[in-house]
């Protein structure tokens, strides 16, 4: 399962310094002289993203593919004398690189003259969707939202028909919206999930364009639908590229990674190509640093050599449920306790005293999301008493928890509450020297200065030297 997707906001807004285009910008403004979709895909792949999602049409109505249903598209632009196709180029580049393709087709369209006439506009939207889903090979995700400016014409979108059409044309595609049906908006644009986050949800409790952030951020343990969440945020303050904006720091992205991927969600990071048609060098640098940080922290599980004992094991001797499965990579091998137990605990002996400050836990998510409360304890060296170092509620496909550094040889992972017999597919312990230090960085949540960049590089290099010593 991919953990991160790259959002690409691109269109006339990129050239007019706007976020919500009026729909009346002259199509000739769209002219990316160095356009290269392969560069976007390379950047995404090199920094660990498994999918790219493009604004095929944003609210301004301008189509990044030559749609037969409007003349407001790349065909009317100066770019490649009107013969270019951004969607086509990106689809080909993504296919070549083995990355998934997602497309955003904005329901709100400020250009189209049928907008506001329910039947006509729905027909138009469905025709455009059909073009997108029949011309470009496999589409992994269709992304749509309920954004609409104030005072805009009132009309109804036939979401249910749209969703059936999408599933019919692209059975492998997941549909994103405020209300699912396949993946949901987390309810904020900061890239942050609730510290309790269920993939379970009731789509019928949610309405596109009228999100209840409390409900969306937590999910619903009693929900009837399986709708994991996506945390979207931009690497810069705007969704589209603006010459005046700078990317966030790598340490800020790392923090968002903990709060999205580390809370059972997909991290959907927007990296807007600039007006030359390329991802800017300063954004690439931050993305490289972000992947160096993740590698430095997560490439070595400090529990790998641990001895593992469980409070009970289902069908003892059956390797399918063995407690040692929690140290094997991958979601499909796991530990299962015996049925109806009063206690669900995994004991680890690390065989030497180890310092760590991050816990990673994974549930075999194809068996459902079960765990509702857990804690991690270490055995004190001096007093030989169990001490709690971290606790949490939900786990899901992946939970990451940071806590002040501790040092211990013995620990236990205790599941306190679970919707069904809990299953654990992975347990990792890591040392993160960066998040802690980030408190001292003046620009941790804002634009990155070259000093902090050098600083991160220095720590990553030193850290990897330490690791090989
Ligand atoms: C919102 C839109 O209004 C923004 O412009 C942006 O595309 C964001 C991802 O979704 O609904």
pLDDT in tens, 31-73: 999 999 999 999 999 999 999 999 999 999 999 999 999 999 9
Segment 245-288, tens digit of pLDDT: 999 999 999 999 999 999 999 999 999 999 999 999 999 999 99
Instruction: Indicate the domain borders of the chain.
Output: 4-298, 307-430
Q: Which CATH architecture has domain 307-430?
A: Sandwich (2.60)
CB 381 within 8 A of CB 408: yes
Distances from the Cα of 241 to the Cαs of 25, 63, 92, 333, 423, in angstroms? 16, 18, 23, 43, 44
pTM, full prediction: 0.94
> At 392, is the secondary structure helix, strand, or coil?
strand
Report how far ligand 1's centroid is from the alpha carbon of 402 (Å). Answer: 31
Pocket test for ligand 1, best of 239, 269, 272 (most atoms within 8 A of CB): 239
Element (H, E) at 221: none
CATH number of the 4-298 domain = 3.20.20.80
Distance CA 342, CA 442 (A): 48
Confidence of residue 436 (pLDDT cuts 50, 70, 90): low
For the CA of 20, the closest atom of ligand 1 is 5
Token digits for 31? 């002219």
The CB-side HSE value for 449 (13 A sphere, CA atoms) comes to 7
143-157 average pLDDT score? 95
With 90 as the cut, is the pLDDT of residue 460 above it? no
3 state SS of 345: strand
Q: What is the mean pLDDT of the chain?
A: 93
Note the pLDDT of residue 452. 47
Residue 204 has pLDDT above 70, yes or no: yes
For residue 145 and ligand 1, the question of a CB distance below 6 A is answered with: yes
Residue nearest to atom 4 of ligand 1 (CA): 239
Separation of CA 98 and ligand 1 centre (Å): 27
Place of tokens 């073009």: 131
184 C-alpha vs ligand 1 centroid, how far in Å? 14
CA of 147 to the centre of ligand 1 (A): 7
Degrees, nearest 5: CA angle 21-27-29: 80
């Amino acid at each position: 399962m991919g953990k991160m997707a790259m959002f690409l906001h691109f269109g006339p807004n990129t050239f007019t310094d706007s976020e919500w285009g009026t729909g009346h910008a002259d199509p000739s403004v769209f002219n990316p002289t160095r356009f290269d979709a392969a560069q976007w895909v390379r950047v995404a792949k090199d920094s660990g993203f498994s999918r790219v999602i493009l604004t095929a049409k944003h609210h301004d109505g301008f189509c990044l593919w030559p749609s037969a249903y409007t003349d407001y598209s790349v065909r009317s632009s100066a770019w490649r004398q009107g013969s270019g196709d951004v969607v086509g180029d990106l689809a080909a580049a993504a296919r070549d690189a083995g990355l998934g393709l997602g497309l955003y087709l904005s329901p709100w369209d400020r250009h189209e003259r049928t907008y506001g006439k329910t039947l006509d506009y729905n027909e138009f939207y469905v025709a455009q969707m059909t073009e997108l889903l029949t011309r470009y090979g496999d589409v992994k995700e269709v992304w749509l939202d309920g954004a609409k400016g104030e005072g805009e014409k009132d009309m109804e979108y036939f979401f249910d028909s749209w969703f059936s059409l999408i599933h019919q044309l692209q059975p492998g595609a997941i549909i994103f919206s405020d209300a699912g049906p396949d993946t949901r908006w987390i309810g904020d644009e900061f890239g942050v999930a609730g510290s309790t986050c269920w993939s379970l949800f009731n789509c019928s409790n949610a309405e596109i364009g009228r999100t209840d952030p409390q409900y969306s951020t937590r999910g619903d343990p009693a929900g009837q639908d399986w709708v994991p969440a996506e945390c979207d945020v931009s690497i810069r303050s705007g969704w589209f590229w603006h010459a005046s904006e700078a990317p966030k720091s790598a340490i800020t992205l790392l923090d968002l990674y903990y709060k999205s991927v580390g809370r059972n969600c997909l991290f959907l990071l927007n990296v807007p190509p600039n007006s030359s048609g390329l991802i800017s060098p300063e954004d690439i640098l931050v993305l490289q640093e972000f992947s160096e940080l993740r590698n430095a922290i997560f490439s070595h599980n400090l529990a790998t050599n641990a001895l593992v004992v469980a409070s009970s094991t289902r069908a003892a001797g059956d390797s399918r449920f063995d407690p040692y499965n929690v140290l094997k990579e991958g979601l499909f091998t796991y530990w299962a306790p015996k049925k109806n137990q009063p206690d669900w605990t995994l004991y680890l002996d690390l065989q030497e005293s180890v310092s760590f400050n991050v816990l990673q836990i994974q549930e075999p998510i194809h068996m459902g999301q079960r765990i509702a409360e857990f804690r991690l304890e270490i055995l004190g060296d001096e007093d030989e008493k169990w001490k709690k170092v971290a606790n949490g509620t939900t786990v899901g496909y992946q939970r990451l928890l940071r806590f002040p550094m501790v040092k211990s040889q013995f620990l236990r992972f205790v599941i306190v509450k679970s919707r069904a017999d809990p299953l654990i597919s992975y347990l990792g312990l890591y040392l993160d020297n960066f998040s802690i230090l980030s408190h001292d960085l003046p620009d941790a949540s804002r634009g990155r200065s070259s000093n902090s960049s050098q600083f991160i590089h220095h720590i990553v290099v030193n850290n990897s030297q330490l690791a090989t010593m």
